[in-house]
């Protein structure tokens, strides 16, 4: 369940200009910029 207070768990710096809406596939978040395609996912359990 979500906690009562917002807590930042991690931050990521992404290079380039974001070109599209993020997409979700399974447990991964895909983000496309003008130069890169990023996959952000917590590995393991």
> Does residue 23 lie in a domain region?
yes
pLDDT at 10: 84
| Total tally of structural domains belonging to the chain | 1
**Range of 34's domain?**
16-45
Sheet holding 37-40, edge to edge: 23-25, 28-32, 37-40
pLDDT at 36: 92
Are the C-beta atoms of 22 and 30 separated by less than 8 Å? yes
> Does residue 9 lie in a domain region?
no
Average pLDDT of the residues in 15-43:
92
DSSP string over 6-39: ----------S-B-S--EEETTEEEEEBSS-EEE
Query: Residue 5 above 80 pLDDT?
Result: yes
Banded model confidence at residue 44, pLDDT cuts 50, 70, 90 = confident
User: 32: burial class by Cβ within 10 Å (0-12, 13-18, 19+)?
Assistant: middle
> Does residue 5 lie in a domain region?
no
Banded model confidence at residue 29, pLDDT cuts 50, 70, 90 = very high
Mean pLDDT across the chain, nearest whole number?
Answer: 89
> Does residue 37 lie in a domain region?
yes
């Amino acid at each position: 369940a979500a906690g009562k207070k917002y807590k930042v768990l991690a931050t990521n710096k992404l290079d380039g200009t974001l070109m599209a809406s993020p997409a979700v596939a399974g447990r991964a978040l895909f983000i496309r910029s003008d130069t890169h395609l990023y996959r952000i996912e917590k590995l393991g359990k």
